[in-house]
A and B are shown apart, each in its own frame.
Chain A
Amino acid sequence: MSPAEQAQIRRAARNGWLLSAPALVILALAAVGPLIIVVVYSFLLPGKYGNVVWGFSLDAWRGILFTRDIFDGTLAWADANLTIFWRSVKLSILTTVFTFVVGFPTAWFIATRPPRGRALWLFLITIPFWTNLLIRTFAINEIIRNEGLLNTTLMRLGLISKPIEMIYTDGAVFVGMTYVYLPLMVLPLFAAIDRFDMRLLEAGYDLYASRWQVLRRVILPIVKPGIVAGSILVFVPALGAYVTPRILGGGKNMMIGNFIELQFGQGRNWPLGASLSVTLLVIVTAALLVYVRYANGDDRNGR
């Protein structure tokens, strides 16, 4: 490599860093940096009125799974916490699976429209994607609450005599999350299907494959990166969901996000809130790493 070339590379790197510096400073101060403080706080003691007392302690980490008896100081499983974790994981997985089951046909439908119509259908998926999540959760709330449209309509038709209690249940949170996160599944699936070569279907059918076999053996393996991307995009925000379970689940059907908030409010246990946040972050990062591995694996196969 000639000295001139080396100088050019150095200049490119210097300019790259200089131009990125303002963005990096803002992100370091108001996004990434504070995450480190959360880790530190998870090893401190809770203050009486919130905040922390400086002093090393593993209580917050123990408190994720165990509760200490007030009288004899023995440790026991924290059943309430385990219920909340289980609910979060269960609802997030259910939401991911269900958004895929209905999202895949939707993405396929959009991708197989003639070019003119396709942009419109895609736009129709994009509008809910960018619409305030609070508004969409609120819209679902208006449909399923006791005095909501569904119950009053059913009662007026004489099908039921008193409202079906749908709101403030796990089911309501599941319906709400499926509703608000569906576009996150459809968009990456669409991107994958859009690149799919439809002639492969022809080849499959020519070789006497049934529709099911073509779907399972040809389509799904090829659009797998889209499936993985969509699943991550739904699972990650679902696991950390706060607004939807708060509105549709009420106080009883908390998820991890609400449980974390509780520690900074009435719970007055900031260190526990911090250790719970770190745990959530670790789970999400693990999910993302799995995704990156899948994506790279496909690259190596020459796709």
Chain B
Amino acid sequence: MAARSFSISRLPGFNAIAVLVFVVLYLPIIVLVIYSFNAGRSISDWEGLSLHWYAVAWDNDDVKDATIRSLYLAVTAAVISTAVATMAALGTTRRRAFRGQTFIYVMINQPLMVPEIVTAVALLIFFAAIRQATGYQGMGYLVAAHAAFCIPFAYLPIRARLEGMDLTLETAASDLYASDWQVFRHVTFPILLPGILAGLMLAFVTSLDDVVITVFIKSAGQDTLPTYMLGQIRRQVTGEINAISSALLALTVALLTLFFLLTRKRD
């Protein structure tokens, strides 16, 4: 046997467990994707490759509505949360610590710390009162809730980018009589852009994934793709859900790949 070089960091059994973990982590997802292309009804019998379930999902008006609603919600929430998170990041980094800064951090990260079910209950109660008072039944509730819980996800990559930025460029611009707005528009913003795009993407994915809060606060007929799927799973498991899941999965992987390319350090 060839002598294996002694690796100082090797711990017995660790590699085997790790490989097993990756297999177990991916196996159910891969099975789900494979069976979304199954021609037959069941998950256990393979009856040939087909796009049947994708066609079924595509022709289902409920799915179409839910998809449009999900995308609308995710785009709106991502844009709003990223805009306000960018401002907050500019206000809380690269300056002397000021009184109340910790409070702002805690507020911004609050959605990460409170269990989703508790926020969902709180919003249900609050929005029910507003509904009663105003009679408004629109998408505003969902947009506000999604925008709020997306803020920390948008804030983190933007802040990380800001902290790694070179202050001298902005100082140079100011020295050359650029106004504050010109400095931001022509210097800060272009350098910050990858962070902002990363924040947009994380916020988008976070909104797209949400189940609990949406289930609690949506009005009748406001199903998003995840809440529609949750309803369907309870009734009957169909290939249609497999197809929708696989499509969402593909979207998530595409966005994540883009995110990694954007935030990759060039070294």
A106 touches B29 (CB 8 A): no
Cα distance, A19 to B86, chains bound together (Å): 9
Which of under 10, 10 to 19, 20 to 34, or 35 or more describes the interface residues of B? 35 or more
With a cutoff of 8 Å between Cβ atoms, the chain B residues found around residue A31 in the complex are 110-111, 114, 119, 145, 148-149
* Centre residue among A128, A139, A284 by max chain B CB count within 10 A: A139
**Min CB distance, B38 to chain A, in Å?**
11
**Min CB distance, A111 to chain B, in Å?**
8
B212 touches A15 (CB 8 A): no
New A-B pairs, 14, CB < 8 Å, besides A26-B151, A260-B117: A17-B104, A22-B83, A27-B110, A30-B145, A105-B18, A106-B17, A121-B22, A141-B237, A142-B31, A179-B28, A236-B113, A277-B118, A277-B122, A284-B118
**107-155 of chain B: CB within 8 A of chain A:** 107-108, 110-111, 113-119, 121-126, 128-129, 144-145, 147-149, 151, 155
Q: Given A23-B88, A131-B252, A138-B233: A243 and B211 within 8 A (CB)? A: yes
With a cutoff of 8 Å between Cβ atoms, the chain A residues found around residue B10 in the complex are 112
Q: Given A34-B125, A41-B125, A240-B118: A23 and B85 within 8 A (CB)? A: yes
Q: Given A20-B92, A134-B230, A136-B29: A242 and B117 within 8 A (CB)? A: yes
**Min CB distance, B46 to chain A, in Å?**
11
The 6 closest A-B pairs by CB, nearest first: A19-B91, A240-B115, A109-B18, A13-B98, A34-B122, A139-B28
Please list the residues of chain A having a beta carbon within 8 angstroms of any beta carbon in chain B: 8-9, 12-13, 15-20, 22-24, 26-35, 37-38, 41, 51, 102-103, 105-106, 108-110, 112, 121, 123-128, 130-136, 138-143, 145, 147-149, 152-153, 179, 182-183, 198, 201-202, 205, 211, 215, 236-237, 239-240, 242-243, 246-247, 256-257, 260-261, 264, 270, 273-274, 277, 280-281, 284-285, 288
B118 touches A18 (CB 8 A): no
With a cutoff of 8 Å between Cβ atoms, the chain B residues found around residue A284 in the complex are 113-115, 118
B200 CB within 8 Å of chain A: no
B193 CB within 8 Å of chain A: no
A-B contact pairs, 15 of them (CB 8 A): A17-B104, A20-B104, A22-B88, A26-B81, A26-B147, A27-B111, A30-B123, A31-B148, A33-B126, A102-B21, A112-B7, A128-B26, A138-B245, A198-B8, A281-B118
With a cutoff of 8 Å between Cβ atoms, the chain A residues found around residue B145 in the complex are 30-31
Q: Given A132-B209, A215-B11: A105 and B17 within 8 A (CB)? A: yes
At the interface, is chain A mostly helix, strand, loop or mixed? helix
Cα distance, A248 to B29, chains bound together (Å): 16
**Min CB distance, B14 to chain A, in Å?**
4
Cα distance, A110 to B155, chains bound together (Å): 27
Cα distance, A195 to B173, chains bound together (Å): 37
Please list the residues of chain B having a beta carbon within 8 angstroms of any beta carbon in chain A: 7-15, 17-22, 24-29, 31-32, 35, 42-45, 80-81, 83-85, 87-88, 90-92, 95-96, 98-101, 104, 107-108, 110-111, 113-119, 121-126, 128-129, 144-145, 147-149, 151, 155, 205, 208-209, 211-212, 216, 226, 229-230, 233-234, 237, 241-242, 245, 248-249, 252-253, 256, 260
**Min CB distance, A29 to chain B, in Å?**
7
Q: Given A139-B28, A147-B42: A20 and B14 within 8 A (CB)? A: no
**Min CB distance, A264 to chain B, in Å?**
6
Cα distance, A34 to B141, chains bound together (Å): 13
A127 touches B253 (CB 8 A): yes
Cα distance, A277 to B245, chains bound together (Å): 30
At the interface, is chain B mostly helix, strand, loop or mixed? helix
**Min CB distance, A198 to chain B, in Å?**
5
With a cutoff of 8 Å between Cβ atoms, the chain A residues found around residue B44 in the complex are 147-149, 152-153
* Cross-interface CB contact of B241 among A9, A138, A243, A274, cutoff 8 Å: A138
With a cutoff of 8 Å between Cβ atoms, the chain B residues found around residue A131 in the complex are 29, 249, 252
A288 touches B113 (CB 8 A): yes
A16 touches B28 (CB 8 A): no
With a cutoff of 8 Å between Cβ atoms, the chain B residues found around residue A142 in the complex are 28, 31-32, 35, 43, 237, 242
* Cross-interface CB contact of B229 among A110, A124, A138, cutoff 8 Å: A138
With a cutoff of 8 Å between Cβ atoms, the chain A residues found around residue B7 in the complex are 112
* Cross-interface CB contact of B107 among A24, A38, A211, A242, cutoff 8 Å: A24
A243 touches B230 (CB 8 A): yes
Q: Given A22-B87, A277-B118: A9 and B98 within 8 A (CB)? A: yes
* Centre residue among A106, A121, A280 by max chain B CB count within 10 A: A106
Cα distance, A13 to B92, chains bound together (Å): 9
Q: Closest B residue to A259 by CB, please name it.
A: B117
With a cutoff of 8 Å between Cβ atoms, the chain B residues found around residue A134 in the complex are 209, 211, 226, 229-230
A105 touches B8 (CB 8 A): no
With a cutoff of 8 Å between Cβ atoms, the chain A residues found around residue B17 in the complex are 102, 105-106, 109
With a cutoff of 8 Å between Cβ atoms, the chain A residues found around residue B101 in the complex are 16
**Min CB distance, B73 to chain A, in Å?**
13
* Cross-interface CB contact of A105 among B13, B35, B205, cutoff 8 Å: B13
A17 touches B18 (CB 8 A): no
* Centre residue among A135, A215, A246, A277 by max chain B CB count within 10 A: A135
Q: Given A131-B249, A198-B9, A264-B216: A274 and B18 within 8 A (CB)? A: no
Q: Given A16-B104, A108-B11: A280 and B42 within 8 A (CB)? A: no
